[in-house]
Amino acid sequence: KYTEFSISYYWINSLGQKVSIYHRSEYVPIPSGKENKTATRSYDHVITSLENTFSTGTYYCDVEWKDKRLMGNGVFVLARDTGYVETSYGWEILITLTILLAVLSITATALLLWKRKAKKMCHFMPYAQQMLCPRRNRLNILRKKVETQPPSASPPPPTPPPPVYD
């Protein structure tokens, strides 16, 4: 009496409705000498693709004989559109921080070099009525001063130093 049975696959959706997926009937003959003994058979059913996110629910199978029905425990399936994607901004933050530090480092180095160069420029000292220059520029400035001043003329008015941004 248990050689003929039917297998049903279905799921209970979020509204509590039973939705049939697959149904088939089976006939399994009993070999001689195996009568009145318990036998186990496996039947797998693969759900290839879920239609949409509404396919979330608990999936069941049951086996039905003429006088008996057995139901499986069920498997809960959570369907999503794209699946779970863990967002991580670690690399983006690291690259941004590295670029920012590089830009600040280059800017600070350029400012230090510019300041050093600005210190080496000549400076007019009004109380001494002379230009104060580094050694390498001093001879050129003195030559220009001697060549441009006529011997009998009074010293020209002091010129202010060029602005730093020049």
Instruction: Give the tens place of pLDDT for each residue, 134-157.
Output: 555 444 555 555 555 555 556 666
6: which 2 tokens? 């039917």
At 45 the pLDDT is 74
> Are 103 and 53 in a shared domain?
no
For 42, the domain range is: 4-77
Residue 45 lies in a domain: yes
> Are 69 and 106 in a shared domain?
no
Residue 86 lies in a domain: no
Q: Is the pLDDT of residue 96 over 90?
A: yes
Number of domains in the chain: 2
> Are 58 and 99 in a shared domain?
no
At 14 the pLDDT is 75
More confident residue, 10 or 115: 10
* pLDDT (tens digit per residue) in 11-68: 887 788 888 888 889 888 888 887 888 877 787 777 766 666 677 788 898 999 989 9
Residue 150 lies in a domain: no
Distance CA 143, CA 124 (A): 16
> Are 24 and 64 in a shared domain?
yes
> Are 12 and 60 in a shared domain?
yes
At 165 the pLDDT is 58
Residue 44 lies in a domain: yes
> Are 20 and 72 in a shared domain?
yes
Q: Quick one: what percent of the chain has pLDDT higher than 90?
A: 13
> Are 33 and 69 in a shared domain?
yes
Residue 57 lies in a domain: yes
Q: What is the mean pLDDT of the chain?
A: 76
At 137 the pLDDT is 46
At 104 the pLDDT is 95
Q: Quick one: what percent of the chain has pLDDT higher than 70?
A: 63
For residue 131, give the nearest of 120, 123, 142, 139 by alpha carbon.
Answer: 123
Residue 64 lies in a domain: yes
> Are 59 and 34 in a shared domain?
yes
Residue 159 lies in a domain: no
At 83 the pLDDT is 60
At 138 the pLDDT is 46
Residue 140 lies in a domain: no
> Are 8 and 67 in a shared domain?
yes
Q: Read off the pLDDT of each residue in 60-86 and give the average, rounded to a whole number.
A: 83
